[in-house]
Chain A
Amino acid sequence: MSENIFEAKNLQKWFPVRRSITDLMKRRQSYVKAVDGVTFSIRRGEIFGLVGESGCGKTTTGKMLMKLLEPTGGQMLLDGQDVTHITAERLKTYRREVQMVFQDPYASMNPRFRIRDVLEEPLLIHKVGEDHQERLKMVARALTEVRLQPPEEYMERFPHMLSGGQRQRAATARSLILNPKFIVADEPVSMIDLSTRAEILHMMKQVQRELQLTYLYITHDLSTARYFTDTIAVMYLGRIVEMGDPDDVIDHPRHPYTMALIAAVCEPVSGKVNRIKDVPIKGEVPSAQNIPRGCRFHPRCLYAKEECWTQIEPELEIVEGRHWVACRRYKEI
């Protein structure tokens, strides 16, 4: 068993853009490069956070991991095995090993199904459990794992009869029922009330410890990521620009984008009301169809120099210990 449960090597997802007749004739094809070469490893038993704004490619990366999308380039390894493109048979076992918790807990369950049916479904799909009774026992066990007790009461309810937090627990229970190794959590608490958020995250951490799971935690909220994750990777326009220990990255950011993000985040402290916040960034996010030359962040970077757009894109390099950054000029900034 390797130390890394998951590895991505130059993973790419390019979406072809619909062509006009002229483009077709000139044989031009442009792409929306949602994920444009990400490389990272996730250690067994850790919570790996993928952080970024909308359009940075974090959700697309998550979906590739889930095999809901097929990579158009690069490599993915699960437990040392190449899983970039797999057969239908291998996919079946893959689905038992890798599961997902979605952002909207209500939309992720069929509203006409009772919780019991929602949770029984994965068992039926993978033909787990001898008979109905045994399956119900497994459902009850999963509900107990996520602290929805007594399970019998929750099994009978429909999703709309549960609160947001309870629904997300049920969704988590569904992802656990097949005993996966790896869970992709896509913004699992962003649609849940603040006062319940921590409760859900707490439950997720407990479950992780008890069942020895690994998480990929996707979010746009840096503060929650800091609290929850063991490693954090900041994505911008399809690439990872900085990665490392959350405390290190947030307290000592090296990439200008990370610095801008951190400056932009609001904090519940007094005294900031009449101050205009200084966010060290300019312009707007370009379209993923027209990725800037050189370092893709350069048009927005306050520190960009000529080398940033004339030379090829910088790769992730180690700053110190467990801290990587993809910036040509990080030493000077």
Chain B
Amino acid sequence: MVAERARENKRVLEVKNLKLHYLTSQGAVKAVDDISFCLNRGETLGIVGESGCGKTTTAVALMMMPSPPGKIVGGQIIIEGKDIVPMTETQIRKQIRWEKISMVFQGAMNCLTPVYTIGKQMMETLREHREMAKEEAIARIEKYLAYVGLSRDVLKRYPHELSGGMKQRIVIAMALFLEPKIILCDEPTTALDVVVQAQIINLLKDLKQQLDLSFIFITHDLATEAEVSDRLMVMYGGKIAEIGTNEQIYGKQGPMHPYTQRLLKATPLLHEKVEELAFIPGRPPDLLNPPKGCKFHDRCNVVMDRCKEEEPDLREVEPDHFVSCWRCRES
């Protein structure tokens, strides 16, 4: 009981049975279909999966910004004890978005308007949310620019004058300067070169420590995820296939869900000579008419009859390690 309470206090974000569907003329596309997970204080939770698995949709749902015809049709998102799903847009804009949780988008550097200087854009965003005197605002901006390793000269520049890495740092600074505690990063390094990527990842780790932040790091790249996340969540077909710690997934034992296992095998290693790289034949499921039973069953190499009929739920197979797979429960 005490342990349970202690664990609850550590949670900064809790998602329960979240469902986000895109209501198209041909029916509902179940982009995120009943997922539950939590984010603990000071940790990085990785969400990994391939195209169409629902990871970006999850991020969008957490920010309460589903683009029409998307709609959150069920579930709860609990931040600091309050469920934000029923809140109005105004409430979310004033209290939640960018205040408690902010986001670094995919291709974020393209979010900077080319016609205004960096300084102007950062000012505008900051003062949009807070009543601040100009000097105070500048001070805060410079403080966070320093955190991301940029000098104040950058304020006078236009986006096109800066490199991709610098722009990404600016976007990160903008996600931080209202001092939210939860940062969502959606493929923040995918468009960057590998050296810059390493630098940005180092930066994020440093910031996490210094500012006591909690991250959700979304990517399709298992290799990047390994170096960034304390805990990892694998999504497939709008559902969670597996949640585990870094050690449980990437350590000697290896993941338990067949999908995660094969995805890992499909990731090439730099320092080991791989003879045959594995792949998973077939395609991700159609989210408009998902297959019955486990979403992965048609591509699974250890499929059982039960998998085709019943959908497995997420169960704890060892402490902090959850899998939704019938096969895994047998063993």
Contacts and interface: CB of A to CB of B under 8 A. Distances in A.
| Direct A/B contact, Cβ within 8 angstroms | yes
Interface in B221-241: 221-230
B269 A197 contact: no
Given A261-B195, A265-B270, A199 B279 contact: yes
Contact of B270 (A195, A262, A270, A279): A262
Contacts of B193: 53-54, 220, 285
Interface string A195-236: 111110110000000000000000011111011000000000
Interface string A265-294: 111111111101101010011000000000
Given A273-B44, A274-B205, A266 B223 contact: yes
Contact of A261 (B166, B194, B226): B194
Given A226-B273, A274-B205, A269 B50 contact: no
A164 interface: yes
B223 A196 contact: no
B301 interface: no
Contact of B50 (A194, A199, A279): A194
Contact of A195 (B230, B247, B279): B279
* Range class of the B interface residue count: 35 or more
A250 B279 contact: no
Interface stretch (B62-70, B93-101, B260-268, B287-295): B260-268
B212 to A, nearest CB: 15
B284 to A, nearest CB: 8
B266 A195 contact: yes
A197 B227 contact: no
A279 B247 CA distance: 23
A195 to B, nearest CB: 4
Nearest to A247: B273
A210 B224 CA distance: 35
B267 to A, nearest CB: 5
Contact of B226 (A199, A267, A274, A279): A267
B263 A202 contact: no
A194 B220 contact: yes
Interface in B250-289: 250-251, 262-264, 266-271, 273-274, 276-281, 283-284
A19 B46 CA distance: 48
Contacts, number: 136
B201 to A, nearest CB: 7
A270 B280 contact: no
Nearest to B253: A270
A220 B197 CA distance: 12
Contacts of A270: 226, 246-247, 249-251
B206 interface: yes
A83 to B, nearest CB: 31
Contacts of B228: 273
A268 B279 contact: no
Contacts of B110: none
A197 to B, nearest CB: 7
B16 to A, nearest CB: 26
Contacts of B220: 193-194
Contacts of B251: 270-271
Nearest to B299: A195
Q: Which of B227, B250, B284 has the most CB of A within 10 A?
A: B227
B198 interface: yes
A78 to B, nearest CB: 31
B17 interface: no
Contacts of A195: 50, 262-263, 266, 279-280
Given A163-B283, A223-B269, A270-B247, A194 B263 contact: yes
A193 B271 contact: no
A279 B266 contact: no
A285 B205 CA distance: 23
Interface residues of A, number: 45
Interface string A240-268: 00000001001100000000111111111
Given A269-B226, A276-B202, A222 B266 contact: no
Interface string B39-65: 000001000001100000000000000
B227 A198 contact: no
A318 to B, nearest CB: 23
Given A266-B221, A266-B224, A194 B198 contact: no
A201 B269 CA distance: 15
Contacts of A224: 268
A264 B224 CA distance: 11
A276 B264 CA distance: 23
Contacts of B163: 284-285
**Which residue, B51, B164, B278, has most C-beta atoms of chain A within 10 A?**
B51
A251 B250 CA distance: 22
B51 A164 contact: yes
Q: Which 9 A-B pairs have the closest CB atoms?
A: A198-B279, A270-B250, A198-B277, A264-B198, A53-B193, A195-B280, A199-B279, A223-B268, A266-B223
Interface of B: 44, 50-51, 163-166, 193-195, 197-199, 201-202, 205-206, 220-230, 246-247, 249-251, 262-264, 266-271, 273-274, 276-281, 283-284
9 contacts: A163-B283, A195-B263, A247-B273, A263-B198, A266-B223, A271-B247, A272-B227, A276-B202, A277-B227
Interface of A: 53-54, 163-165, 193-199, 201-202, 220-224, 226-227, 247, 250-251, 260-274, 276-277, 279, 281, 284-285
Given A199-B279, A264-B194, A266-B227, 6 more contacts: A53-B194, A165-B283, A193-B220, A223-B269, A226-B273, A270-B249
